[in-house]
Amino acid sequence: MACEPRHKSRTVSPNPRSRVADRLNSKLAMSDRSHPPEIPPFRSESDEREFPQVILHADMDAFYASVEQRDRPELRGKPVVVGGEGSRGVVAAASYEARKFGVRSAMPSFEARRLCPDLVFVRGNMALYARESRRIFEIFDEFSPRVEGLSLDEAFLDLTGSERLMGPARDVAARLRKRVREASGLAVSVGIGPVKMVAKIASAASKPDGLLEVAHDEVGAFLAPLPVRAVWGVGPVGGERLRAAGFETLGQLAACDTETLRRAVGDWGVDIARLAGGEDIREVEAYREPKSYSEENTFAGDVLDRETLEATILTHAESVARRLRRDKLKARVVVLKWRPSERQVPGPRGYPARSRRITLTEATDDGDTLAREARKLLAKARLQEAVRLMGVGAEGLESREAPQLSLFDAPPEKKRRTDLNRALDEISDRFGNAALHRASQGSAERAGLSMQIKRGEKLDEERPNDDDGFEGSPEDSPEDNPEDNPEDNSEEIEAHDEDYDD
């Protein structure tokens, strides 16, 4: 696609860090790229700050697999995968020994086994990984008061204005890496940049066990030769859409004029182009207001039996409700999500999500209420084919402390439900989530070992069925990004995967 450069005053010289582009291209299985075209000069919000913005992105290397190799000497030096070996098993994490064979997270286990017949599969231990994560995040907190956790194994740290106290950012990063290694025996890769996206790409380029800093005046040359998939939030679908429009590199995107971009890929492309030029105004957020809570699972085999589906719905609804209550929230919208068993199109997203939602007259944190409404949605869906995945979500969140009728004025049934939920929560907090459940609940296998920090869930507790490994399909895996596809396949709302709980 021919584009008129948005700015014609500056030409980028050959990138002195061409190895970064080569490495990311390799990771994304991309072909060689052309030399970057003219791109606009990088400018960020920090240009107008008292102190230049400095963001550090810390990402643990092959976190799950590295923990297993640390604790089990017999696994060291071997190609190890944490995940499920079943027919729908998916790789949750792969050691670097396994990656040499092309094994990657989110890959179907049968394909990983084909690439590496000697692959060692290990069942996950979510409680162990969560404890390690908590210890690592405590170290992160030593280096910045503003830490934004993206998942159990990665976080942004805001170092803006800390140089006088802490020293140069690169020195801070080196000390952080040393502290993590000494405390946990694990490696962490770190990227430093003036904006979040640059820091995240830099940490990916520095792996394994590396450190890469991109200075403010190096951003343009650093980003220009990278493939379009390097932008945080652009996955397989979005990347193919951009390539079909003629955009191969971030430099091409950043240089293209707005109107041409809008005609080619819509407003979404304009936003991506800004990121491609390093224009990322997102700040490190130590806390973000939640937008939704959800739970889902992929079945070991396709399911059409109504009783099984309803039992699974109840299990997910109770889990979502418990998390809402722990966070003192209620939800006004109930969402039912499923994936049909029949593949619609080739590729990892071949099983498109379907969903239904209903808005309640009164917000709730009661699992029975969530389940009842979700079952109504299931009945309205009139499923004619088996499903491979079932999930329940809650949206339209509001504080439980919001003005409402006194509990003493509430109907007897509502007061009884409130008392029952309080008792259930006390038992779960003391003995674990699996200690007590309804007789009609199903034993829903979880979609996998989620890397996400799930709101309302105690990090040090065992997650039900997580020891079964990652059973799912690539579209349900940790690398799936619901923001990637601007034209989502769900019928009424965008899908909320378990691993992308907002």
Phi-psi region of 142 (alpha: psi -120 to 50; beta: other; left: phi over 0): alpha
CA atoms within 13 A on the CB side of 122: 25
- Taking alpha carbons only, the member of 250, 289, 291, 295 closest to residue 269 is 250
Distance between CA atoms of 383 and 245, rounded to whole angstroms?
37
Q: CA-CA distances (angstroms) from residue 376 to 116, 240, 310?
A: 46, 37, 10
Contact yes or no for 162/172 (Cβ under 8 A): yes
Both tokens of 365, joined, read 């944190």
User: Which distant-in-sequence residues (6+ apart) come within 8 Å of 424 by Cβ?
Assistant: 322, 436
- Taking alpha carbons only, the member of 211, 217, 164 closest to residue 44 is 217
How many other β-carbons are positioned within 10 Å of the β-carbon of residue 443? 12
Distance between CA atoms of 457 and 11, rounded to whole angstroms?
50
Q: Residues with catalytic annotation?
A: 154
Q: CA-CA distances (angstroms) from residue 5 to 184, 212, 273?
A: 48, 29, 12
- Residue by residue, DSSP assigns 145-204 as S-EEEEETTEEEEE-TT-HHHH--HHHHHHHHHHHHHHHHS--EEEEEESSHHHHHHHHH
Contact yes or no for 182/168 (Cβ under 8 A): no
Residue entry with tokens 């690169």:
170
**Of how many residues is the chain composed?**
502
Distance between CA atoms of 182 and 141, rounded to whole angstroms?
16
Distance between CA atoms of 271 and 453, rounded to whole angstroms?
27
Strand ranges, E, within 20-79: 55-60
CA atoms within 13 A on the CB side of 289: 7
Distance between CA atoms of 432 and 93, rounded to whole angstroms?
26
Contact yes or no for 239/37 (Cβ under 8 A): no
Query: Cα dihedral sign for 91, 183, 283, 329?
Result: positive
Distance between CA atoms of 134 and 150, rounded to whole angstroms?
13
Contact yes or no for 375/313 (Cβ under 8 A): yes
Both tokens of 478, joined, read 């940790």
